[in-house]
Amino acid sequence: MAISVKLVPATALLLTLAACVGSGSPFSPPSAKDAARAPSSSYAIVYSFRGSPDGYVPTSGLVSDGSGRLYGVTNYGGVTPRGCNGSVGCGTFFTFDPSSHRETVLYSFGRTRGDGQLPNSLYFHNGSFYGTTEEGGTNASLGTVFKITAPDRKGNDWRETILHRFRGSPGDGASPAQLTIDSSGVIYGTAATGGSATKCFAGCGAIFELTPPGGSGKWQETILHSFGGVPDGEAPSELIIAPHRTLYGETNAGGHSRVCGNARGCGTVFSLKPSHGLRWTETILHSFQAFGAPKDDGEFPFGGLVLASNGALFGVTAYGGPLQQCYTQGYPWSGCGTFFRLTSAPGKPSAWTESILYRFKGGASDGAVPDAIASEGSGFYGTTVRGGGGYCDSGRGCGTVFALDPSQRQRRWTETVVHAFAGGTNDGWDPGGVIATNDEGLYGVTLYGGAGPCTFGCGTIYEYERR
């Protein structure tokens, strides 16, 4: 059971979180003292990326094909004859075998002029892999949606097909960030920029639909909603599908509050539902208020939502909560992040109530800047970009893996840091967010660290065995 957390593309980095998890630019290296710290006995680095021709900076975490093997993408690396991103390659699609700890690059992006570059998401559906690239596709380099299929019985290589090349505002999205697919094979996705709104630079983002080929043999794209910025959302990231084709998602900015991000808004949770004919209706379920608001609300939701069986939505915000020393741009200090729940009122589908269930503290004892959660039993596992001690990111910490467990009636939640990343050659830092689970444990990636030859490490795959 896993959720996908996809990084907001660099062209839409409206938020300081982007500097932590989405830009591909490392910060201060960990000190030798912290790099030598041994990880816990239940945690281990099972693979260190090596850089081209291997991958570099795994960004989307890992997904399973149901057979026990795991798959992922890296922003950089691979073998690209045309050259890309200087000398580090256009990115890779790879597989990892947990039993042998062997990683294999199956496809290198950027092989053709119209191919994508910088893959940043991956989704498995009906035997094939689907994903997005942040750049590439056209001369404007606004990103793509791709499909990768396994070799057939004739022994051919893994094959990539471009399903859509983005054109940007006003008629299309740009910088796609994430996909989800329904049972009929229709693809829904987010574009962090683009769309028809003119309030935001390069567009405020859009939700798109890709319909499988009919008689034309081409996938057909439809823009379901273009975000308008404050008081609407801006820069959508994650989507989930609920019954009756309802889509739930987050925008990293926008909403009714203007106290965040130079009046760009603190972010929203929204729903998008089909209504009359081809029209879809968007509803803002919650606008985050950040500091100074009742409950010390969150700021910049990031990492996707989890839909519980009772209809409640759970998620995390990168910042917000009580004012603490978790630095963000725009003002000196902000909270270290929150874990929240949204519940709808019976008979009132547009009336939702938010509850802050946990406020991250940062520092050596806790994580800061949460960027993902994954449901596990009655609780959640997740990752934070900062905190946990260590000297990564100018001393703000190398990140954590945490567990959140409810008490009776979920009135109180208890957080436990199950691993604090140390960086250096012996550990990763800056976890990529997605946590894949199987019978043996949890698997995830870190953008940097590990024994690879890159300056700050080329990234890692880690395993955490539940005790």
Summarised one tens digit per residue, pLDDT across range 346-377 is 777 678 999 999 999 988 999 999 998 988 88
In the predicted structure, residue 9 carries a pLDDT above the cut 70: no
Give the number of other CB atoms < 10 A from CB of residue 292: 10
Q: Residue 388 carries which side chain, given as an amino acid letter?
A: G
CA distance 232 to 253: 9
Q: Range with the lowest mean pLDDT among 193-197, 268-272, 376-380? A: 376-380
What letter represents residue 83's amino acid?
A: G
Alpha helices in 203-273 (DSSP H): none
Question: Could you list the residue range(s) of the whole structural domain that residue 396 is in?
Answer: 32-53+371-467
* Contact between 261 and 234 (Cβ < 8 Å): no
Q: Is 221 in contact with 172 (CB distance < 8 Å)?
A: yes
Q: Residue 301 domain-assigned?
A: no
pLDDT of residue 30: 43
Q: Could you tell me which residues are beta bridge partners of residue 275?
A: none
Residue 410 in any domain: the answer is yes
Is 80 exceeded by the pLDDT of residue 411?
no
Region at 135 (left for phi over 0; alpha for psi -120 to 50; beta for the rest)? beta
pTM over 0.85: yes
Tokens of 115: 């191919």
User: What's the whole-number average pLDDT of the chain?
Assistant: 84
How many domains does one find in the chain? Answer: 1
- The Cα diameter of the chain in Å comes to 63
Where does residue 404 fall: left (phi above 0), alpha (psi -120 to 50 degrees), or beta otherwise? beta
pLDDT band of residue 340 (cuts 50, 70, 90) is very high
Please name the residues in contact with 362: beta carbons below 8 A apart, sequence gap of 6 or more. Answer: 324, 325, 326, 336, 368, 386, 387, 396, 397
Identify the H or E element spanning 20. Answer: helix 17-21
Cα distances (angstroms) measured from residue 81 to each of 52, 55, 88, 89: 12, 15, 12, 9
375 assigned to some structural domain: yes
Q: Of 262, 254, 267, which is closest to residue 318 (Cα–Cα)?
A: 267
- Residue 438, domain member (yes or no): yes
Confidence of residue 322 (pLDDT cuts 50, 70, 90): confident
326-335, 345-354, 451-460: which has the minimum mean pLDDT?
A: 326-335
Q: Are 387 and 360 spatial neighbours (Cβ–Cβ below 8 Å)? A: yes
DSSP states along 286-355: EE---TTSTT--EEEEEEEEEE-TTS-EEEEEEEESS-EEEEETTEEEE-B-EEEEEEEETTEEEEEEEE
Q: What is the pLDDT of residues 217-238, one digit of tens each?
A: 789 999 999 999 999 999 999 8
DSSP string over 112-133: STT-EEEEEEEEEETTEEEEEE
Please work out, in degrees rounded to the nearest 5, the angle formed at the alpha carbon of residue 198 by the alpha carbons of 194 and 202: 35
The answer to whether position 404 is within a domain reads yes
Residue 430 lies in a domain: yes
Of 303, 298, 297, nearest in space to 371 by CA? 303
What mean pLDDT comes out for the span 333-342? 87
Beta bridge partners of 382: 373, 402
Nearest to 446 by CA among 74, 31, 84: 74
* Least confident residue range of 289-293, 306-310, 373-377, 393-397: 289-293
pLDDT digits (tens, 9 = 90+) for 155-214: 778 999 999 999 999 999 999 999 999 999 999 999 999 999 888 989 999 999 999 987
In the predicted structure, residue 56 carries a pLDDT above the cut 60: yes
Cis preceding-peptide flag for 236 (omega within 30 of 0): no
Q: Is residue 230 part of a domain?
A: no
pLDDT value for 117:
93
pLDDT tens-digit readout, 101-145: 999 999 999 888 899 999 999 999 999 999 999 999 999 999 999
DSSP state of 270: E
Distance CA 68, CA 223 (A): 36
In the chain, the amino acid numbered 178 is: Q
